[in-house]
Amino acid sequence: LADPMEASIEPSTQEMIRRAQQLNIETVFDRAVTMKPCAIGLQGICCKNCAMGPCRLPLPKDGIQGEDTRKGLCGATANTICARNFARMIAAGAAAHSDHGRNVALTFLEAAKGTTKDYKIKDPAKLIQIAPYFGVATTVEEDGVVKDRDLQEIALAVAKKAVNEWGKPSGTLDYLKRAPQPLQDKWIEEGVMPRNVDREIVEIMHRTHMGVDQDYKNLMKQGTRASLADGWGGSMIGTDLQDVMFGTPSPLQAEANLGVMKEDHVNIIVHGHEPLLSEMIVAAAQSQELISYAKEKGAKGIQLGGICCTANEILQRHGVPPAGTFLQQELAIITGACDAMIVDVQCIFQNLANVAKCFHTKLITTHPIAKMEQDNVIHIEFDEHHAMEDAVRIVKMAIDNYANRGAEVIIPRHKTTQIAGFGVESIKYHLGGAFRGDYYTLNDNIINGRIRGIAGVVGCNNARTKHNEEHITLIKELIKNDVIVLTTGCSAIAAGIHGLLTPESAAVHCGPGLAEVCETVGIPPVLHLGSCVDNSRILLAATEVVKAGGLGNDICDLPAAGSAPEWMSEKAISIGQYFVASGVYTVFGYHMPLDGAPEFKNYLYKEMEKIFGGKWDCEPDPIKHAHKMIAHIDKKRAELGIDK
Ligand code: NFS
């Protein structure tokens, strides 16, 4: 069994691991003790792409290929195998983000056509802002007079263009032109401009099939192209259209951690990624009718909470508190107070069903592509044509289940307050100039040295590392050194849980320069920018910084760095690659599956910088990790002539 103190730095997590062990319920933390990773897979050199294998190549010693130079049966070298595996991770990650984006675009098309009543245009300003990138006009000329074009007409034109981005037969993705021009030039020169989202993912699967692409550099070219189709395509379109339909986030206050669950309330946890359903659940749970129904059933009200990126989506737009990170999903049920957990796609443990079986919890799957085989799981397929009806049915089911709770409900007391809901627009509002709609104040403070640089800290938790330790140690070290942090995903949830998302934390944890800026402007030193598809907001924020001037001409000129200290998902690899290909020095924690192919690893860690201005790195120690990022920031400051 796992030692709770070794598994997490977070007290409610430790408490719930102990509680699970008392009840003889296995969690991810225990499985991490009994299941050891495969040594060859860990190095990235196991090839199982054909039935002559799996070919498990010999491990190099101290990063050098030794005397044992056996290859795969087809002759595949360590570089080829490692690059194929890496590219396939990008394909899976880009597919997950982009399929989410596609579903959003398809729903937006229905909303624009008026064939669904539950989804509407909530943020017309955002629609008008993005329309030109799709080549959609926002004004019309009638009798020589320029007038605003009908909103529904703009929406329909944008929706059709957006949906087309997944499969258009010619050209390249429309959103690529949002990147700084020098970056676009690099992509064109390197031949990595994505043509359409689906094609780049399919082409990875083709090129990594047995006997196709056998040049690791060429394989990575396609990996890059698919990752860009994710970051500057599927994810970015997903984020934008979600903003149009559900509202662009703006800063708000909320709570975080398992302690947000309430013993005397109906507790509903939404877990997964696509906000299409969870938006409806929020609306249903806040309706007077269902609150009254909950009271009739003996509860004081309905408490919603989120896990993973669905949590971030509804936190950013509605202030619904996240109940936990990726690694706390089983623990939310182990409280005994979770009346329903509703899941859609991605990052959902199969073991949730086994845990739910030990309690009264209704576990509800909602997505046609993500079902569970266990018989205690209920499948209510969500359909955008009757979205609200589905949501009401689910919330009612949770309320009806309130009476079935067992005697022992133990909810950890821990919860924190946080400010979330930042985005490109709100950073502009807080850190823009008084008369200039750009990032003037931010740039000015970077140039004068109060802010040393910008870090993006994102990504998952990983049961192979101590839950939240790397995130929190790293972020604290960065802000102590006056580096402002933009965060998303489970990293953002972790930062919220550990109290780093408050303006007050600036005085406690920041260096004097960053503290002064945060206190003057009234923002936290760590800004929550949303879910993992919202990493596209970080790309656009970086682009705004470039545009505001004084810090070079391209993202790679900025004193900035990226990090995913506890990554585990294939989505993180796609994100890492699009950051690298956008010019960002990107450091991952834990481990990278590259050690078996030192030459390929060197290509990612060194050579790539010559092509895109960004490169990969890996550092498991969070303090050293922070200082690698800071050293890069200082190098960029020196190149810009602003080091002091
Ligand atoms: Ni991102 Fe979000 Fe969390 Fe990792 Fe999973 S929830 S999409 S993949 S674990 S950060």
Mind listing the pLDDT tens digit for each residue in 598-628? 999 999 999 999 999 999 999 999 999 999 9
Atom of ligand 1 lying closest to residue 571 CA: 8
Element (H, E) at 585: strand 585-588
Of the pLDDT bands very low, low, confident and very high (cuts 50, 70, 90), residue 62 is low
- Give dist(CA 250, CA 343) in Å, integer: 26
Q: Tell me the HSE value of 69 on the side-chain side, using a 13 A CA sphere.
A: 3
Whole-structure pTM over 0.95, yes or no? yes
pLDDT of residue 431: 86
The yes-or-no verdict on residue 1 having pLDDT over 60 is yes
Q: Ligand 1 centre from 489 Cα, in Å?
A: 5
Contact of 341 with 31, CB cutoff 8 Å: no
Tokens coding 287: 């309706």
User: ipTM above 0.90?
Assistant: yes
Atom of ligand 1 lying closest to residue 491 CA: 10
The yes-or-no verdict on residue 436 having pLDDT over 90 is no
pLDDT of residue 60: 79
Atom of ligand 1 lying closest to residue 347 CA: 5
Q: Ligand 1 centre from 161 Cα, in Å?
A: 28
Pick the residue whose CA is nearest to atom 5 on ligand 1.
347
Helical residues (DSSP H) of 171-211, grouped into ranges: 181-190, 197-207
Contact of 515 with 215, CB cutoff 8 Å: no
The yes-or-no verdict on residue 397 having pLDDT over 80 is yes
Q: Ligand 1 centre from 622 Cα, in Å?
A: 19
Contact of 283 with 246, CB cutoff 8 Å: no
- Give dist(CA 355, CA 273) in Å, integer: 21
Residues 6+ apart with CB under 8 A from 3: none
**Listed residue (269, 308, 261, 262) closest to 285, CA to CA:** 269
- Give dist(CA 455, CA 581) in Å, integer: 16
Q: Is 1 exposed, middle or buried (0-12, 13-18, 19+ CB in 10 A)?
A: middle
pLDDT of residue 626: 98
pLDDT digits (tens, 9 = 90+) for 214-253: 999 999 999 999 999 999 999 999 999 999 999 999 999 9
Q: Which amino acid, 378? A: I
Q: Ligand 1 centre from 209 Cα, in Å?
A: 28
Q: What is the edge-to-edge ordering of all strands in the sheet holding 266-271?
A: 322-324, 302-307, 266-271, 338-343, 362-365, 377-379
Give me the residues paired with residue 487 across strands: 457, 528
- Give dist(CA 421, CA 340) in Å, integer: 26
β-bridge pairing 252-256 and 416-420? antiparallel
Q: Ligand 1 centre from 80 Cα, in Å?
A: 28
- Proportion of the chain above pLDDT 90, given as a percent: 95
- Proportion of the chain above pLDDT 70, given as a percent: 98
Tokens coding 633: 């920031």
pLDDT of residue 63: 63
pLDDT digits (tens, 9 = 90+) for 551-604: 999 999 999 999 999 999 999 999 999 999 999 999 999 999 999 999 999 999
Atom of ligand 1 lying closest to residue 325 CA: 3
Residues 6+ apart with CB under 8 A from 511: 452, 479, 480, 481, 482
- Give dist(CA 294, CA 59) in Å, integer: 59
- Best probe residue, ligand 1, of 326, 467, 471, 567 (max atoms within 8 Å of C-beta): 326
**Quick one: DSSP state of residue 569?**
S
- Give dist(CA 111, CA 407) in Å, integer: 45
**Phi, psi (5° rounding) for residue 613?**
85, -5
pLDDT digits (tens, 9 = 90+) for 468-513: 999 999 999 999 999 999 999 999 999 999 999 999 999 999 999 9
Pick the residue whose CA is nearest to atom 6 on ligand 1.
308
pLDDT digits (tens, 9 = 90+) for 84-111: 999 999 999 999 999 999 999 999 999 9
Q: Ligand 1 centre from 103 Cα, in Å?
A: 18
- Give dist(CA 148, CA 151) in Å, integer: 8
Q: Is 171 exposed, middle or buried (0-12, 13-18, 19+ CB in 10 A)?
A: exposed
Task: Write the DSSP string, 605-625.
Answer: IIIHHHHHS--EEE-SSHHHH
- Best probe residue, ligand 1, of 343, 571, 575, 590 (max atoms within 8 Å of C-beta): 571
Tokens coding 178: 């949002």
The yes-or-no verdict on residue 437 having pLDDT over 80 is no
β-bridge pairing 338-343 and 362-365? parallel
Q: Ligand 1 centre from 117 Cα, in Å?
A: 30
Q: Ligand 1 centre from 348 Cα, in Å?
A: 10
Residues 6+ apart with CB under 8 A from 484: 451, 453, 454, 455, 514, 517, 525, 526, 527
Residue located via tokens 């897979």:
41
3-state DSSP of 240-252: HHHHHHHCCCCCE
Pocket of ligand 1 (CB under 6 A): 273, 308-309, 326, 347, 459-460, 489-490, 531-532, 569, 571
